[in-house]
Amino acid sequence: EPEVTQTPSHQVTQMGQEVILRCVPISNHLYFYWYRQILGQKVEFLVSFYNNEISEKSEIFDDQFSVERPDGSNFTLKIRSTKLEDSAMYFCASSFDPYTQYFGPGTRLTVL
Amino acid sequence: KQEVTQIPAALSVPEGENLVLNCSFTDSAIYNLQWFRQDPGKGLTSLLLIQSSQREQTSGRLNASLDKSSGRSTLYIAASQPGDSATYLCAVRTGNTGKLIFGQGTTLQVKP
Contacts of B45 in chain A (CB under 8 A): 103
* A91:B101 CB<8 A: no
* A98:B96 CB<8 A: yes
Query: Best mutation site among B99, B101, B102, B106 for testing chain A: the one with the most A CBs within 10 Å?
Result: B99
Q: What is the mean pLDDT of residues B54-77?
A: 96
Q: What is the mean pLDDT of residues B67-77?
A: 96
Q: Report the pLDDT value the prediction gives residue A98, as an integer from 0 to 100.
A: 85
Put simply, whether A34 touches B (Cβ < 8 Å) is: no
Cβ–Cβ pairs < 8 A, chains A and B:
61
Sign (positive/negative) of CA torsion A22, A36, B41, B35?
A: negative
Contacts of A99 in chain B (CB under 8 A): 31-32, 51, 93, 98
What does the angle CA A37 – CA A45 – CA B90 come to, to the nearest 5 degrees? 75
> Chain A: residue nearest B49 by CA?
A100
In chain A, which residues have pLDDT < 70?
none
| Arithmetic mean of pLDDT over chain B | 95
| Cis amide leading into B14 (omega within 30) | no
pLDDT digits (tens, 9 = 90+) for B25-61: 999 999 999 999 999 888 899 999 999 999 999 999 9
Q: Report the pLDDT value the prediction gives residue B42, as an integer from 0 to 100.
A: 84
| Calpha distance B36→B16 (Å, rounded) | 21
